[in-house]
Amino acid sequence: MKYFSDIELGEKERISEEITEDIHNRIVGVYEKYAVKNCFSESAPVDCPDGIPGICGFNNVKFLNLAKGEIPNFDIVYPKSIWEDGSDKSYDQYTTLDFIQFCYKNIKKAIKSERIPYDNGYNSDTSYATSYTFEESDSEKKAFRNDINTLFRRNGLVFELQEDGKIVRTIPQALQPLVSKIYLTGDDELNSLVEKACDNFLKPKIEDRQIALEKIWDAFERMKTYYQEKNKKESITELIKEVSSTNSEYMKLLNDEAVALTNIGNDFRIRHHETDKNNIIDNNQIDYFFYRIVSFMQLFLKHLEKK
């Protein structure tokens, strides 16, 4: 569903990666919504009273301890009281995103069984317990995914929870063709390097996205030697000549860009890790370098596919 403000004002630009305290609390709210529905109870059950087989509820503490076992340093903090002082703080985005994935993989549909009478041991009145059985449910997973992705979208976060449980970074729609195309040139290794680079580029962790830069620059260097019977300089010169249709000004432009990209790969900490290399310190820098080289390479990869 699109909200009125989205239609009238346009959707919020998705550029933020920060999990603030406010965002954290909203994620906790989504978690609680499905915990109340007993969607996590099979993984962290409250057993029924003595003599009654089955699961009668959800153990929140047990579930969070299970999460901590798989997500080092994870800690869920419930929304603070309105009487508490303190400024908004940031939460580690990776552990929070991991928790969302942990919840997603543990979601099941809880199905109520009949209410079962039992003796509570305190008085003569009969007590009743409701037990649950559980089944895999695409509808519950889809609902959870929609709630989380709506939260991401409405708050301008770059993340997206996919159907397979992976969380990826969203990219501007106009640039999606640059990183979603699978190329089938005559060089299988070149195709593989480009695909690995694009896969890692969509991951949220900066370490994976740095791998994406390394792979795409490896692909660039591989592409420059496409004509194996020629040396590297002769090979890239031939490629530039082909894609420019021998237009001299266009050839010069492409050659200058190829040299600039080669220098970036040598001067920045992309393919080389000596101490004199310039570090790449945030995702915005990765975006710039990646989009720049992929837009350049796309021109050549499309040409090589036709060949």
The model's pLDDT over 238-247, given as tens digits with 9 standing for 90+, comes to: 999 999 988 9
pLDDT at position 246 is 82
Of residues 54 and 124, which shows the higher confidence score? 54
| Residue 82: pLDDT over 50 | no
**Which DSSP symbol is given to 118?**
E
- 135 and 188 fall within a common domain: no
Tell me the mean pLDDT in the region 88-104: 87
Instruction: Return the residue matching tokens 């080669």.
Output: 262
Q: Indicate whether 211 and 124 sit together in one domain.
A: no
Q: Single out the residue in 111, 128, 161 at which a domain terminates.
A: 161
pLDDT tens figures, 136-194: 999 999 999 999 999 999 999 999 999 999 999 998 776 777 787 888 999 999 999 99
Please report which residue ranges of 229-270 form alpha helices under DSSP H: 232-243, 248-267
Q: How confident is the model over 111-144, as pLDDT tens digits? A: 987 666 655 555 555 566 678 889 999 999 999 9
Q: Tell whether 229 and 117 lie within a shared domain.
A: no
pLDDT of residue 68: 93
Judgement on whether residues 264 and 125 belong to the same structural domain of the protein: no
Counting the structural domains of the chain, the total is: 2
Specify the pLDDT at position 83.
Answer: 41
Q: What is the pLDDT of residue 90?
A: 67
Q: Has residue 167 been placed in a domain?
A: no
Neighbouring residues of 120: CB distance < 8 A, sequence distance ≥ 6: 49, 127
37 is a domain residue:
yes
- The answer, yes or no, to whether residue 289 has pLDDT greater than 90, is yes
Q: Which helix (H) or strand (E) holds 145?
A: helix 138-154
Whether 13 and 123 map to the same domain: the answer is: yes
Tell if the pTM clears 0.85, that is, is over it: no
**Does residue 166 belong to any structural domain of this protein?**
no
User: Are 190 and 295 part of one and the same domain?
Assistant: yes
Ranked by mean pLDDT, the top range of 13-17, 60-64, 90-94 is: 60-64
How many Cβ atoms are within 10 Å of 252's Cβ, its own excluded?
A: 12
Please indicate, yes or no, whether residues 45 and 101 belong to a single structural domain of this protein: yes
Whether residues 68 and 139 share a domain: the answer is yes
CA distances from 266 to 14, 223, 256, 277 (A): 32, 16, 15, 8
pLDDT of residue 243: 94
**Nearest-angstrom CA–CA distance, 152 and 142:** 15
Beta bridge partners of 278: 268
On whether both 148 and 277 belong to a single domain, the answer is no
Burial grade of 96 (CB within 10 A; 0-12, 13-18, 19 or more): buried
User: φ and ψ at 130, to 5 degrees?
Assistant: -105, 120
- Tokens matching residue 243: 């894609």
Q: Greater confidence, 205 or 161?
A: 161
Cα 54 to Cα 27, 86, 130, distances in angstroms? 30, 44, 9
Point out the least confidently predicted range of 16-20, 124-128, 181-185, 261-265: 124-128
Residue 231 within a domain? yes
Domain of residue 235 covers 172-306
- Residue 93, SS3 per DSSP: helix
Q: Please report which confidence band the pLDDT of residue 225 belongs to, taking 50, 70 and 90 as the band edges.
A: very high
In this prediction, residues 29-45 reach a mean pLDDT of 96
142 plus 41 within the same structural domain: yes
Do 96 and 223 fall within a single domain?
A: no
- Which of 67-71, 77-81, 90-94 has the largest mean confidence? 67-71
217 in the same domain as 84? no
